[in-house]
Structure 1
Amino acid sequence: MRTWFRSGLALALLATACAEPGDDGTDDGLAPVAERGTARVKTRWGEQTMSYRVIDGRAIAEGDIDLGPVARLQLYANTAIDTTRRWPDGVVHYTFDPAIAANDVRRTRVADAIAHYEALTPVRFVEEPDDVCPDEAPNCTDYVYITSTTIPGVGGTSALGRVGGKQNLTLAANASVGTVIHEFGHALGLSHEQNRPDRASYVTINSECIDTGDEADDADNEIDWNGQYNVSASSEGFGAYDFASVMHYSSTGGRDEDYLAAPCNGRQPMERKATAWCPESICSDPGNDGVAEFISAQRTALSPGDVNSMWGMYAEGIGASEAGDRLGAAIAAGDFDGDGFVDVAVGAPGEDVGAVNAAGAVFVWKGSGEGFQPWLTITQGWLGAASEATDELGAALAVGDLDADGYVDLVIGAPGEVNGGVSDIGAVFIARGSEAGLVPAQTVTQATVGDLDEGNDRFGAALAVGDFDGDSRDDVAIGAPGESLGAGPAAGRVFVLRGQANGTVTAWDSVGQDEIAVVGNGGIAPPPVPLGVAAAGDAFGAALTAGRVDTDGRYDLVVGAPCDSDNANCAGAVYLFRGAVGSLQGWRRLTRAAPTAFDRVGWSVAVVDRDGDGDGDLAAGAPYATVSGQTSSGLIQLWNTSGTSLSTSSLWSQSPFAANEPGDLFGATLASVARPVLFSPAQLYAAAPVEGTSGDLVETGVVQRFTVTGGALGHNALVRESPVGIEEDGDEFGRGLAVYGALEGTYIFVGAPGENDDSGAVYVLGAIGNAAPTHRQVLVQHGAGSHTAP
C-alpha cells in the first residue's frame, strides 16, 4: 500500500496573460525580445522564477511547456503570472486547427487520450466544432486549440493549466497517445515529475550532458533542454517519487549529441540514484554494473499517482450534509481501483434521496497521497434498484475480493429495504472493484439464497467477507437477525454466499444456533449436539466478522447473538463456525464465564491474534454489562484460541484508562488488525460511543486501542474527537469504526454519525507501529454533486 502522501505532483496551473482567440499577443510597440528570459510565476505555494527560451515568438520552458507569446510576457514583466486557475467543474473545451485534417491520426489519438482521462479521472472534455467557440457554450471563452508543433524533436507543447481564452496545445505529426496524455496533463495542471524540489534523493542531473541548443549546428528554433531539469520551487512533491508518472522524462531527454565524449563520457542527462526505488519496467541497467540507473519515459497511461493528482485537483463535492443523514454509521476500507492507495466507503443510512426519506446512501472517498478525495455517491438508483423510504442503504458495509481479480469489491447492506409495502425485509448490493473504481454488480435478496422475503428479517443488517471455502475467492456472510426459518422462531440466521469469477455471489450455506457442534478435524462429537437453542429475539446474526481463527488457511465465521438467552435473559453469546470446503462447520458457542442478564455479549465481534501465536483470538463487546455497579458501562470479553480449542481469557473494561460510568456502552463497536503487517501490528480498537468525555458533555464518544505487547493484549492509546473536532453532546464518536492494516502503518476510520445534528462525519487517523494515532483528515459531505463512473 502506498504512503500517506500522494505520489505525483501538481504544479498549480500555470497561466499566461489572457489573449483573445486568434490574438498571437504581438505588439510592434514593444522592444525586441531576447532569445532567453525568465518569467515570474505566482502559484499556490508562492512565487517562483521560470526560465524559458524563445521559439517562434513563444516562451518555451522545460522542453514542452508553452508560457505563451513572449511579447505578452514582456508586456506584463512587472506582474507575476497567476497560476491558480483550474478548469471550472473539471470541463475542458477544445477544438482542432482546421489544418489537422479529419483523417489525421492525431484526431484519433486525441480521442483515445480523452477516453483515458474520462475513464479514470473526474475531468470531462467537450469538443467545439471549430476555432470560433459558440457564445452559448459553458466556459467557452477558455479552450484548448490543438494544432501542429514547429519545434524539431518535440512531440508536443502545452500551456500549464487554464490560461484563459484560447491556449495552444501542439502535437507533432507522429505524436503517440501517450504524448497526448502528457500534454493534456500539462493543460490540466501537471508539471514534470523530475522537477520536484526533492528530486536530489531520487535522480542525478548531469548538466554537462544536456543539449542547451547553443551548438553551431543547432537549428534556430531548437529548444534549450537544460531548462527541463531546473528544480521548480512550486513543483511540490507529495510522497513517493513517481518514476512511472506519464509526466516523467527519460534519462536521454535532451541529451547532447556529443554525450559519448568528455566531459560527459557516456553518462545520461538524468540517471536514477541507486538508493531510489524504481519499477523494473521503468528503470534498467544497460551497463550491467548492478545499478539500474537508466530511466525510460512511461508514455502509455496515467500512473496511479497521476490519476490521484487529477482527483486532488478536480474532485467535485460529494453530497450535502443534512440533519439525520448519520454519515459514518458504517465504514469499510479497501483499494477499490488497485492503485495502491486505500479507499474508504462510508454509509449514511439516514440520507434522503430526493424526496425519499432515509433511503440511505454510501459515499466513497478515493485514497491518494494528499489524503482522501470525494469520489462516488452510491444510491440504489446507481445500483439499479429503487430508493424507498427507510431502506437504510449503507447501514452495513464490508469489503473483499469476491472474484480474485486483485480489486477490492464493496458489499452494501440495506436492512430496511421495503418490498411490496413490507418494511425491514432487507437487501444486499455488490459493487465490483475495477481500474476505474466501483461499478454495480449484483442485488442479493433472500430469494437469491432460496428463502422468503419477510418483514422484520433485516437481511443485510450485518456483513462479513472472507474466503471460507479456501478457493482464493472471498465469500459473503449476510446477517438477518430477525429471520425465522420455516415455522421456527424469529431467532435470526446467517446466509453465506460464494464468490464467483464474474464478481457476483451464489447461494452456498446458511447457519443458525441449532448447527451441530463439530470438533477436531471435522469429526462429529457423539452424540450430535447443537451449538445452542434458537429462541425468538435472540438476534443471531446482528454482528458478524470473518477471520482466521485456526491455522488451516481458511477464514472462519464469528456470529454475535446479543440477546441469546440460553443462560440468562439477553446475556448474549458468540457462535463460531469453522471454514471448510463443503459447508461451514459448527464449532463453539461462547459466553462470559458468568453470564449476566442484559450484558448483550456479541453486540460486536472481532478477531485479533492477541498473543502472537498465529491463531486468531476472539473478542466480543458486551456494551450493556454492569461494571463496578455502573449500569451499561460496558466491557469486552476475550477468548484465547489454541488449535481447535478456545478458552475464556479475560475481560476488559474502560478502567483504569477511563472511568467506568453508566451508559458509556464500551464495546458497542470493535475493529481490528487481525494479524501484523510490517508497520501495522495486531491491534484491537474498541469504542464507547456514548461516553461523556468531559464536564457536562454526554454521548460524545471515545475509542480505546489495545496492542500486543510481550505476548499479551494491553491498552495502548485513547482516541478522542479533539483536537481536530469539537466534542459535543450526541456526536457518538466511535459508533462507526474500521481499521486497515497497510505496510506503512494503520489507517483508523472513526465514524461520528451524531455530529452536527446527526449529519455525521468520519475522522481519519493514522498510526505507525504502536505509536499513538494522529488525526489526518475529517470526511464530511459537501457540495452539490459527485462523480459517478462513466
Structure 2
Amino acid sequence: MHNPSLVILVLLAACGTPTDPSATVEASRLGSEAWADAGAGASDNLGFALTAADLDGDGMAEIVAGAPLASNPSVEEGIVSLYAGSAVPTLTATLEIDVASSGFGASAAVADVNGDGMLDLLVGAAKYETTPQLKNEGAVFLFLGVAGGGVASIPAWSATGGQRDAMLGRSIVSLGDLDADGDDEFAVGVPLWDAVGAVNAGKLVKYAGGAVPAMLGEASLGLAGATEGWALTVASNFFGDGRAVIGSGAPNAGGRVAVYRADDLSSQATLSAAGTARLGYSLASGDLDGDGEDEIVIGDPLLDTVHVWSDASGDAMYTGVAGSHYGESVAVGDFEGDGWLDVLVGAPEADGGVGEASELRGEGDLFGLVEDWSQADLTAGDHLGTAVAAADVNGDGMDDGVLGASGYDGLAAEGGRVSVHFGEGDVLLPVDLATSGDYAILARARSAPRRSRTSRATWA
C-alpha cells in the first residue's frame, strides 16, 4: 500500500527506466491527506460529485459534495453536504429535496445567478421525475446565497428535463456574466435527450441569470447515442478573440467535444482524436501555458487518457495505467501558488478499484511531469478519484485538491468519502530508488504527448 505521508515525484529517464539507483526527487505539490469525511448511510456515494468555492467571502473555499444515492429518509433522494473552508473543514449544512430516486447531488456548480453579490449553488438531480411517465427526466435546483455565507435550505427555482430518461442535471457549469447585466448565466447538460431521429443524442441548455432564470437556448450535435452534455466546461478566450466558449462532452459516439460560443451558442468546432473511445467523459479548462488563451482538458477513461486541447497548438495526450479509468474526473488549479495551473486527474479503478488521483504539473509548456498517489486506508472498491475539484480550502494562497471516493466503506457500505490534500509547493527529498522500502514509488514519467491540430470545421 502506498505510504500517504510521503508522496514523491521521480524524475525518470526518457525511456521511463531509472538509470541511477540514487537520485533527488521532488515532493508533490499536494501534501498528504489533511482532512476527510465519510458518508454515514449505506450506498450514499458521498463524493460522487464535487465543487468548491468561497461562499462566505472569508478567503477559504467551501466544499460541496454530492451523495446522489443517499436516503434521508426518502429512498435514494440524494443529498448535498456543505463544508466550511478552513484547515479543518466542518459540515455546516445538508441540502435535500425529499423526492425519492431523484439522484440529487449528481452535479453541482457555483454562480451569482441573481446578481446580489452572493454566490448561489446549482445542484443537479439527474433521475428526478415530475410524473411516472417522465421517469429520469432530471432537474436542476437553485439555492440562493445568504448573508454571512452558505445558501438557503429551500430551492428558489428549478427546471426539469421534460422528456423521459433525458437526465437533465448530469452536469452544470457557470458561464459568468456574459451580457454584463450583473447576473451569471449557466448551462446544464441533458445527455440522454432524444433528438428527432437520434436517440440519446444529448444536448446542453443555457439559462439566463436572474431571480427566475429563463431558458435562453440549447445546442446539440444531434448525433444518435452521443450523450452530449455528459460533461460541461467553459473556456475563456479559447480562440484568442476574447469570447468564452462552452465545451460539451459527447463520450458515447466514439468520443468528441462540441465547442459553442457561450454568448450565442453558435457551433465553432468539434474536438476529436483518432482512436478515442470515451473522449469527453470529463472536462475542465484553464490557461495552462500562460498564453492568455484557455485550454480544454478532456478525459477518456475507457482508454485511460487525458487530452489537453489548445486552439493555438493542438492536442497533447497523457496516458495513465491501463484499466485504471484515468481521466474519469479532471480539475484545474494552481497547487503551488506559482501562477502555473496544474491538472488533477482521477483514476477510480486504479489498484484494483482502490483508486488514485494524479497531478499533471504545469510548467508553462503544457506539462512535463506526472505523479500519482493513493490513500493507505482505502481498499478495493472505494474508487478514489470518482470526482476531483481544486480550490483554496485553507486560505493559504495555494489551491488544494478535493477528492471523492464514492465507494468508500468506512462508516457504511459504499457510503463514500471526500478528502482534502493541501497545496504545499515543492520540496526536494533524497530517495534511494533501489531501496525505497516503505516509500512506494508513486510517480512515473509521462510518455511524449502526441500532438495534432484540432478541427475548426466542424451515466452511459
> Equivalent residue of 1:390, what SS?
coil
C-alpha deviation, 1:678, in angstroms: 4.8
- Counting only pairs closer than 5 Å after superposition, residues 394-543 of structure 1 correspond to structure 2 as 394-421=105-132, 422-436=134-148, 437-439=150-152, 440-446=154-160, 453-467=162-176, 469-471=178-180, 472-485=182-195, 488-500=198-210, 502=211, 504-513=212-221, 534-543=222-231
Q: Quick check: 1:680–1:744 contact (8 Å CA) kept in 2?
A: no
Question: Whole-Å Cα distance in 2 between the matches of residues 714 and 394 of structure 1?
Answer: 35
Per residue, is there more strand in 1 or in 2? 2
C-alpha deviation, 1:438, in angstroms: 0.3
- Counting only pairs closer than 5 Å after superposition, residues 160-179 of structure 1 correspond to structure 2 as none
C-alpha deviation, 1:475, in angstroms: 1.4
> Equivalent residue of 2:214, what SS?
strand
Which residue of the partner structure matches residue 252 of structure 2? 563
C-alpha deviation, 1:378, in angstroms: 0.3
Q: Quick check: 1:346–1:363 contact (8 Å CA) kept in 2?
A: yes
Q: Quick check: 1:470–1:553 contact (8 Å CA) kept in 2?
A: no
Which residue of the partner structure matches residue 453 of structure 2? none
- Does 2:60 match 1:341? yes
Which residue of the partner structure matches residue 309 of structure 2? 639
Question: Whole-Å Cα distance in 1 between the matches of residues 249 and 363 of structure 2?
Answer: 27
Question: Whole-Å Cα distance in 1 between the matches of residues 183 and 336 of structure 2?
Answer: 21
Q: Quick check: 1:468–1:556 contact (8 Å CA) kept in 2?
A: no
Equivalent residue letter for 2:215: A
Q: Quick check: 1:679–1:744 contact (8 Å CA) kept in 2?
A: no
CA gap of 1:551–1:535, structure 2 versus 1, over 3 A, is: closer
Question: Whole-Å Cα distance in 1 between the matches of residues 391 and 179 of structure 2?
Answer: 22
Which residue of the partner structure matches residue 275 of structure 2? 595
Which residue of the partner structure matches residue 17 of structure 2? none
Equivalent residue letter for 2:349: V
> Equivalent residue of 2:102, what SS?
coil
Equivalent residue letter for 2:113: L
Deviation readout 1:203-247 (Å, 9 max, x if unpaired): xxxxxxxxxxxxxxxxxxxxxxxxxxxxxxxxxxxxxxxxxxxxx
C-alpha deviation, 1:769, in angstroms: 4.5
- Does 2:258 match 1:584? no
Question: Whole-Å Cα distance in 1 between the matches of residues 387 and 366 of structure 2?
Answer: 26
- Does 2:253 match 1:545? no
Q: Quick check: 1:391–1:416 contact (8 Å CA) kept in 2?
A: yes
Q: Quick check: 2:48–2:65 contact (8 Å CA) kept in 1?
A: yes
C-alpha deviation, 1:462, in angstroms: 0.9
Which residue of the partner structure matches residue 255 of structure 2? 572
Which residue of the partner structure matches residue 403 of structure 2? 750
- The counterpart of 2:93, out of the listed 353, 364, 376, is 376
C-alpha deviation, 1:333, in angstroms: 0.8
Which residue of the partner structure matches residue 446 of structure 2? none
What value does the CA root-mean-square deviation take over the aligned residues? 2.4
- Does 2:61 match 1:361? no
Which residue of the partner structure matches residue 329 of structure 1? 48
- Counting only pairs closer than 5 Å after superposition, residues 96-111 of structure 1 correspond to structure 2 as none
Question: Whole-Å Cα distance in 1 between the matches of residues 422 and 243 of structure 2?
Answer: 29
C-alpha deviation, 1:395, in angstroms: 0.8
C-alpha deviation, 1:699, in angstroms: 0.2
> Equivalent residue of 2:311, what SS?
strand
Question: Whole-Å Cα distance in 1 between the matches of residues 66 and 328 of structure 2?
Answer: 17
CA gap of 1:444–1:551, structure 2 versus 1, over 3 A, is: farther
C-alpha deviation, 1:550, in angstroms: 4.0
> Equivalent residue of 1:671, what SS?
strand
C-alpha deviation, 1:507, in angstroms: 1.2
Deviation readout 1:48-97 (Å, 9 max, x if unpaired): xxxxxxxxxxxxxxxxxxxxxxxxxxxxxxxxxxxxxxxxxxxxxxxxxx
Which residue of the partner structure matches residue 449 of structure 2? none
- Counting only pairs closer than 5 Å after superposition, residues 5-154 of structure 1 correspond to structure 2 as none
Question: Whole-Å Cα distance in 2 between the matches of residues 378 and 680 of structure 1?
Answer: 35
CA gap of 1:394–1:691, structure 2 versus 1, over 3 A, is: same
Q: What is the percentage of aligned positions where both structures have the same residue?
A: 25
CA gap of 1:636–1:320, structure 2 versus 1, over 3 A, is: closer
> Equivalent residue of 1:712, what SS?
coil
Deviation readout 1:480-520 (Å, 9 max, x if unpaired): 011124565430110000112x4x4221121111xxxxxxx
CA gap of 1:677–1:507, structure 2 versus 1, over 3 A, is: farther
Q: Quick check: 2:335–2:400 contact (8 Å CA) kept in 1?
A: no
Question: Whole-Å Cα distance in 2 between the matches of residues 770 and 556 of structure 1?
Answer: 33
Question: Whole-Å Cα distance in 2 between the matches of residues 676 and 728 of structure 1?
Answer: 27
Q: Quick check: 1:467–1:554 contact (8 Å CA) kept in 2?
A: no
Question: Whole-Å Cα distance in 1 between the matches of residues 158 and 72 of structure 2?
Answer: 21
Question: Whole-Å Cα distance in 2 between the matches of residues 358 and 441 of structure 1?
Answer: 19
Number of aligned pairs? 382
Equivalent residue letter for 1:601: L
Equivalent residue letter for 1:595: G
- Counting only pairs closer than 5 Å after superposition, residues 622-661 of structure 1 correspond to structure 2 as 622-625=300-303, 634-642=304-312, 647-654=313-320, 660-661=321-322
Q: Quick check: 1:411–1:428 contact (8 Å CA) kept in 2?
A: yes
Which residue of the partner structure matches residue 11 of structure 2? none
Per residue, is there more helix in 1 or in 2? 1
Question: Whole-Å Cα distance in 1 between the matches of residues 402 and 378 of structure 2?
Answer: 17
C-alpha deviation, 1:389, in angstroms: 2.5
Off by >6 Å, runs of 4+ in structure 1: none
Q: Quick check: 1:426–1:458 contact (8 Å CA) kept in 2?
A: yes
> Equivalent residue of 2:55, what SS?
coil
Larger RCO, structures 1/2 (Cα 8 Å, 6+ apart): 2
What are structure 1's unaligned runs of at least 5 residues? 1-317, 381-386, 447-451, 514-533, 565-570, 626-633, 655-659, 693-697, 773-790
Bigger radius of gyration among the two: 1
Q: Quick check: 1:470–1:554 contact (8 Å CA) kept in 2?
A: no
TM-score by length of 2: 0.78
Question: Whole-Å Cα distance in 2 between the matches of residues 372 and 640 of structure 1?
Answer: 36
Deviation readout 1:634-658 (Å, 9 max, x if unpaired): 111222223xxxx53221012xxxx
C-alpha deviation, 1:608, in angstroms: 2.8
CA gap of 1:325–1:744, structure 2 versus 1, over 3 A, is: same
Deviation readout 1:140-181 (Å, 9 max, x if unpaired): xxxxxxxxxxxxxxxxxxxxxxxxxxxxxxxxxxxxxxxxxx
Which residue of the partner structure matches residue 23 of structure 2? none
CA gap of 1:442–1:664, structure 2 versus 1, over 3 A, is: same
Question: Whole-Å Cα distance in 2 between the matches of residues 560 and 468 of structure 1?
Answer: 22
What are structure 2's unaligned runs of at least 5 residues? 1-36, 429-460
Which residue of the partner structure matches residue 704 of structure 1? 358
Question: Whole-Å Cα distance in 1 between the matches of residues 301 and 128 of structure 2?
Answer: 27
> Equivalent residue of 2:178, what SS?
coil
Question: Whole-Å Cα distance in 2 between the matches of residues 650 and 320 of structure 1?
Answer: 37
Deviation readout 1:437-467 (Å, 9 max, x if unpaired): 2014433224xxxxx6111100101111122
Which residue of the partner structure matches residue 283 of structure 2? 605
CA gap of 1:537–1:770, structure 2 versus 1, over 3 A, is: farther
C-alpha deviation, 1:414, in angstroms: 0.1
Equivalent residue letter for 2:250: A
Q: Quick check: 1:361–1:379 contact (8 Å CA) kept in 2?
A: yes
Deviation readout 1:673-708 (Å, 9 max, x if unpaired): 2x899556311111111101xxxxx10111111122
Which residue of the partner structure matches residue 328 of structure 2? 668
CA gap of 1:747–1:771, structure 2 versus 1, over 3 A, is: farther
> Equivalent residue of 1:536, what SS?
coil
Question: Whole-Å Cα distance in 1 between the matches of residues 354 and 174 of structure 2?
Answer: 30
Q: Quick check: 2:38–2:415 contact (8 Å CA) kept in 1?
A: no
